[in-house]
Chain A
Amino acid sequence: MSKDNQILEEFTSKEYEHGWSVDMEVDEAPPGLNEEIIKWISAKKEEPQWLLDWRLKAFKTWSEMTEPEWANVTYPKIDLQALRYYSAPKKSKKPKSLDEIDPELLQIYERLGISLNEQKKLQGIAVDAVLDSVSVGTTFKETLSKLGIIFCSFSEAVKEHPELVKQYLGSVVPMTDNYYAALNSAVFSDGSFCFIPAGVRCPMELSTYFRINAANTGQFERTLIVAEDSSYVSYLEGCTAPQRDENQLHAAVVEIYAAKNAEVKYSTVQNWFPGDKNGKGGIYNFVTKRGICAGDNSKISWTQVETGSAVTWKYPSCILKGDNSVGEFYSVAVTNNYQQADTGTKMIHIGKNTKSRIVSKGISAGKSQNSYRGQVQVMKRATNARNFSQCDSLLMGDRCGAHTFPYIDIQNSSAKVEHEATTSKIGEDQLFYCNQRGISTEDAVALIVNGYAKEVLNQLPMEFAVEAQKLLALTLEGSVG
């Protein structure tokens, strides 16, 4: 057996660190999915009629759709009627400050290493924490509101800024877009809303930690980010979920709207429970993320570090409508054991001189399957469109798989599209070299993997990059002896 294979053999399942759940009284919907449930959710959330109508329309659309099967993933069919579509921690009134937040909730975040307190403030991060379905606390709101920035839970936005929500909801990801987006539109529970007014540069990273807590609860987050003319925001999303035996569904929708000269950076570190080393349990992560560079010279940049979930289906995309607009996608996806990831991006060039850049780094270990699926589309009007794609795969052992599915569709002959792809293995030579300098094999793997993913990690804000590096190391920990 070669050393590489031996490394693979010894690839262990370090038990998932965030695997526990707190018993908490929950306010939840009965299982099942039908119009009554949707009405129940909407009423629970005290929503206006227009939103209920919107949900019902989405439900109708969804009912006529079938589950997509084109992705390179296999999993048992999910019984959507067995899931609960709403679960909120019980509380008597809305918290006004952190002191009023259920200490048990705070404890969960503490255990996740997230503190809503001074620490984060010192780091200049405003955190809007989402536990299951309800947003539990928002810091920094005041500083932000002085600048006219709105950063709140989605439900709150529906109440406080209905005109904005109505204007933009579904404008980037229409409810008809795909099966999971339609489902999300019908039953979304909560999420974050972010609005940056014209000319404002958001002075801090906006951050949301998502977390799945109750068993058998599909999580349907809805995030909407609107950046008006010449504004700037960097948004961070991180998630962890406690260990469960049953598979849990996560079908989020994120929409970004960037007006003229606006720039939005969206960073994700995702480590939902991946299932155990035998492939039992784990999150199904079927997410629709899309941004539109609606105005000229606007820019949207997606950065993701994906280490979790049993099955991932996710293609953060950019519609480059404004002239000279720029779309970027930087991704590191790690799969281990029986994880399956089918992820990538779509860059749709509509405006003139639009540019897109794709950097995808896949890392496969164990018996996992890691696919990159990317689409670059250059429309007729998109004169001088440019795309550069770099898709690299790193294999650890020989029982995992890496696949690349690039789709290119060019309707304007002035377009320049470049695609590069490489596949490599972690070399025995590299490991030995590190060992010979006194570095343990485990740390050597972390070093090599982080080096491989550097171009993507460099895109993340500092604190997040450190966290992501640790996560990569953790995911591959125990992999070698």
Chain B
Amino acid sequence: MTAIDLTSASVVERAQRISEDVAGPNAEAVDRHARFPVESVEALRVGGLLASLIPVDLGGGGAGIREVADVVAILGRGCASTAMVYAMHQIQVACLVRHGRTPVLAAYLREVAADGLLLASATTEVGIGGDVRSSSCAVERSPGRFHLTKEAPVISYGAFADGILATARRTPASPASDQVLVVCRRAHTRLEQRSDWDTLGFRGTCSNGFTLTSDDDDAYVMPDSYADISSQTMLPTSHILWASVWLGLATAAVDKARGFVQAAARKSPGSTPPAALHLAELVAVHQQLADLVQSAARRYDEAWGIDDREVVEAMGFVIAMNALKVSASQLVVDIVSRAMQICGMAGYSNGSPLSLGRLLRDAYGAALMVNNDRINANNAQLLLIHREH
């Protein structure tokens, strides 16, 4: 589909090409029209990057979280919506890789790898707010089958997904917190759109609201409890990969600020432009974010590589991953604001090459994707008993 050779280069090189040649050039149009970045996702599919995290024996790339986090940040530098779609897909893949150990789910992962399927997520529910650890909808079973109806206020790229992982109560009699994760395959699932997605930022994620109805073989209800899937896999992977999106977005803002300062420097060699000092400060904050994200990815990658549940189940690990999300979501806003200060009107104007409008609007989404207040409240409770650091 493109002139890019997506087969020979390394994963990171392929991501770089897609970010620079496809995602970046389309980012403004994706944002303006709130349209799905079809061409970027197609390039990721063709390049085999949708299957990066799937083990080699199931037909995937066998990458770890660290490598995927690098890919996400590279994509985020070109188009944050594309990076977020890719990140959210990998989060669902991670849950299947770690918790889909049955023959049916392993076969499904093989299909995800072979056909380049795109997976989405329906954790939020109407009436529940952002409390993803409780559900009101429930899985209804009949022999060998399940039925699920869920009112989902936000399913990113739901209309474009080949499968959606949805949370629900284990049975109609289960309490709200006793949840399972259900794989809703497209051919067995109906989506009725209930709301539009016309937001400030992340407009290309096309996160409309839907009523989701799924009827399928009950082997697609994942065997582990969602409590375990969430704490061991979905929460750390989400926070690391979301933070990687924000890192990429922040890097794009730094690129613009650097461009502005260097253009000024070229006009008057010998005198340091006033904004150069602000650039030095900005780069220091950007480095904080980069180091934060990369060290969290490394920490999780080590546990992932040896499948060490002791590490990821420990309270200190959960607290650290929660803190990562809160810090990174604040740093990204700080970084884009600083870049705006440096670029001045060139950053504030729409349509200027140094325009920071889209990046600023995207950055403000970070603190709301699972509200930081909820995450801090969670950590506050855990810190009542946590001792080690």
Q: Do A and B come from one complex?
A: no
Interface residues of B (CB under 8 A from A): none
